[in-house]
Structure 1
Amino acid sequence: MAKSKKNSALEASSEKQIYDLKQLLEISKSLNSVIDFSTLIEAILYTCMGQMKTLGVAIFTKQNFDACCFQLNRNYCGFELNPNSDYSFPETHPLIALLSSQNSCVTPEVIQKELTPDTALKNLMELNPSLIVPLKAKSHINGMLVLGEQITAEEYSTYEKEHILNIASLAAIAISNAALLEMTTTDMMTHLKLKHYFYTVLMQRLEDSISQKSPLSILMLDIDFFKRFNDTYGHACGDVVLQMVASVIQANTRNQDMAARYGGEEFVIMLCDTPVHTAEKIAERIRKSIENLDILYDSQHLRLTISIGVAEFNHTVDQTAKNLVDRADKALYTSKQTGRNKVSVAE
């Protein structure tokens, strides 16, 4: 009888392992079919929550390819953050070194035992993590997963820790691939997307807009009298102005939106699931934020303004993505011709 129970347990364990291997194969296919970084992060989060049965999960990654610290991605689930806390770790932080030196998960107890407390660790521990998992690709760490409260009261088993490590390895490879794509599709100056990639994504989103009958709007933006900054203070000043405008644009867009440097001092923003009246409000918010900027450069306080054109996709008028962008560009031209520092909506 005891032998029969043992065989049944072994059989159940083998079936569980086979099932999990099949799951890993599906996870690998799923993650590596996603090229958009934000969408990839969401896929990783929901996969980990489902597989590990936790009430929360977050991921720390580098915000761009030349960043020197790992920051909490704004896509996270199940955690209540302190708005006054900084959730980031320099790549030289002892926790990153600990995760890099071993191919295993780390519990909060291990962190408290082996690492000297500092502000970064204090902020992390306030999230009440249940497990910290390194994201390693080719022995190189490119982030970490933070698992929240478990649904069950039981501690993670050795098998469960190995399983999440396997998922993390697949996630790390997918993140590396997405980072390579990010490098080839991102403007080095502003960290916004490049024009050609913007059009590639826009064409796909327009198809989705038609099939799902959801609104989509475009903003075209141009810095007013930009040449004056270059002529008066030099091109280095112009670079600072471009970066400041890009940061305002990023602060006023969502993960599902996309902003790109269209060329020179022009920018373009795709606002998904956004009708024209909402897009106009977003454009006005960006315009005001830029108007209120006080840029200190070479002991000089610089002020700038921006003109914006807005257009909503209309499948009976806009036969191509270029048609839609051109309509937004014409609205931008109206703003420039009627006084600048204003928002105009395309007919």
Structure 2
Amino acid sequence: MDRQLDSAPFGYFTLDDAGMMMEVNQTLLRLLGYQLHEVQGKHINLLLPNASRSFYQLYFFPMIRLQNKVEEMYFSFKSKDGQEISVLLNALRNERDGKVFNDCACLRMKNRIEYEEVILAAKKDTETRNLLKAKQIAELESLRIELESKQKKLLAVNESLLEMANTDGLTGLRNRHYLQECLSSYFMPDTEQFLTLSFLLIDIDYFKKVNDTYGHLTGDSILRKLGNLLRDGTRKDDVAARYGGEEFALVLPATGKVEALEIAERIRCQVENADWNTYGVTISIGVATKVPGDTENSLQSRADWALYNSKDNGRNRITFGMEE
């Protein structure tokens, strides 16, 4: 950081889009009582009281993403010894070396209360104290309602975007990205290492022939119907996803080999006996169950090996992927 900026008469810090503090000048560090190593690379929430954390997430961050700037925003920091410090914040969104940064400058509003008292005294000549109080209450209520409305809209938009990002557009099942994140969660260091988990890979038999014979619209209809069958047949904690093309997958937590094979057989029979109009549809399934030392990749590899064995041995069947 430039030496002049480091000792400027205002606080300065830079955030990335994840809220991590990349740079903090000495002026702000002295104001808050921190050393650089205590805050650099940490999330901005470290310096924010609870109210400001919500304000940052629901107002500051969406505004700077939409408008590329924030002007004259009242903000509060929490010093290392727990004191709440009010500031006036300005921010600009900039790109440097191909990366986006949110550069922020803040001035402490130490005398804000005194300034407000002067303003109120000046208004006493034209407004009575009761009318002023009523007006302030009305304005605060209006602001509260407006903020609540914006928060609800932002939360709804965020939920909708998250749902879209995790959903396969054709079948309505979870997509491959969501499936991988779900599987990864069962292999985190803090996850119970002996947690039972099974994984199913499902492939529609001769699907290319269906597309070539009846057309891609018919193929899409089959994919959607199979998606509905899998969704209706899953339990509360199971995850059904479209793995890619005509392949689907099921994550079955708290499910051992025997139960996983039973579930796979039930699904295979449901598909074989379903009404597919003038054409028949069957599926091949590969099943794998987590063992000690497994990774998400090794579990998927065994299921993939088992699936291709099912297809090589006549299709419309189930194969269990044994531990290597």
Partner of 1:200: 181
How far is 1:312 from its partner? 0.6
Partner of 2:290: 313
Per-residue CA deviations over 1:71-123 (Å, capped at 9, x if unaligned) read xxxxxxxxxxxxxxxxxxxxxxxxxxxxxxxxxxxxxxxxxxxxxxxxxxxxx
Aligned mate of 2:310, from 318, 331, 335: 335
How far is 1:199 from its partner? 0.7
Partner of 1:323: 298
1:168–1:274: structure 2 CA closer, same or farther, 3 Å change rule?
Answer: farther
Q: Secondary structure at the match of 2:187?
A: helix
Using the aligned pairs only, state the percent identity. 42
How far is 1:196 from its partner? 2.1
Is the 1:310–1:344 contact (alpha carbons within 8 Å) kept by the matching residues of 2?
Answer: yes
Q: Structure 2: which 5+ residue stretches go unaligned?
A: 1-49, 59-146
How far is 1:295 from its partner? 2.0
Structure 1 position 231 matched with structure 2 position 208: no
1:335–1:171: structure 2 CA closer, same or farther, 3 Å change rule?
Answer: farther
Structure 1 position 282 matched with structure 2 position 282: no
What one-letter code is carried by the residue in structure 2 that aligns with 1:228?
K
TM-score by length of 2: 0.51
Partner of 2:222: 241
Is the 1:209–1:216 contact (alpha carbons within 8 Å) kept by the matching residues of 2?
Answer: no
1:171–1:328: structure 2 CA closer, same or farther, 3 Å change rule?
Answer: farther
1:315–1:168: structure 2 CA closer, same or farther, 3 Å change rule?
Answer: farther
What one-letter code is carried by the residue in structure 2 that aligns with 1:321?
E
Runs of 4+ in 1 over 6 A off after TM superposition: 166-172
Per-residue CA deviations over 1:165-210 (Å, capped at 9, x if unaligned) read x999978864542321111121111111221221112101233894
Note the 1:104-183 alignment, pairs <5 A: 174=155, 176-183=157-164
Tell me, in whole angstroms, the C-alpha distance in 2 between the residues paired with 1:225 and 1:176.
40
What one-letter code is carried by the residue in structure 2 that aligns with 1:244?
K
Tell me, in whole angstroms, the C-alpha distance in 2 between the residues paired with 1:209 and 1:198.
19
Query: Aligned pair count?
Result: 185
1:184–1:233: structure 2 CA closer, same or farther, 3 Å change rule?
Answer: same
What one-letter code is carried by the residue in structure 2 that aligns with 1:219?
L
What one-letter code is carried by the residue in structure 2 that aligns with 1:233?
Y
1:326–1:294: structure 2 CA closer, same or farther, 3 Å change rule?
Answer: same
Q: Secondary structure at the match of 1:206?
A: coil
1:168–1:219: structure 2 CA closer, same or farther, 3 Å change rule?
Answer: farther
Q: Secondary structure at the match of 1:267?
A: strand
Tell me, in whole angstroms, the C-alpha distance in 2 between the residues paired with 1:168 and 1:344.
53
Tell me, in whole angstroms, the C-alpha distance in 2 between the residues paired with 1:294 and 1:208.
45
Tell me, in whole angstroms, the C-alpha distance in 1 between the residues paired with 2:191 and 2:267.
27
Is the 2:194–2:292 contact (alpha carbons within 8 Å) kept by the matching residues of 1?
Answer: no
Q: Structure 1: which 5+ residue stretches go unaligned?
A: 1-23, 33-165
1:243–1:312: structure 2 CA closer, same or farther, 3 Å change rule?
Answer: same
What one-letter code is carried by the residue in structure 2 that aligns with 1:308?
I
How far is 1:214 from its partner? 2.0
Aligned mate of 2:192, from 211, 216, 235: 211
Partner of 1:303: 280
Tell me, in whole angstroms, the C-alpha distance in 2 between the residues paired with 1:277 and 1:244.
27
How far is 1:234 from its partner? 0.5
TM-score by length of 1: 0.48
Partner of 1:255: 236
Is the 1:219–1:269 contact (alpha carbons within 8 Å) kept by the matching residues of 2?
Answer: yes
Q: Which has the higher contact order (CA 8 A, sep 6+)?
A: 1
Structure 1 position 267 matched with structure 2 position 248: yes
Is the 1:311–1:346 contact (alpha carbons within 8 Å) kept by the matching residues of 2?
Answer: yes
1:345–1:168: structure 2 CA closer, same or farther, 3 Å change rule?
Answer: farther
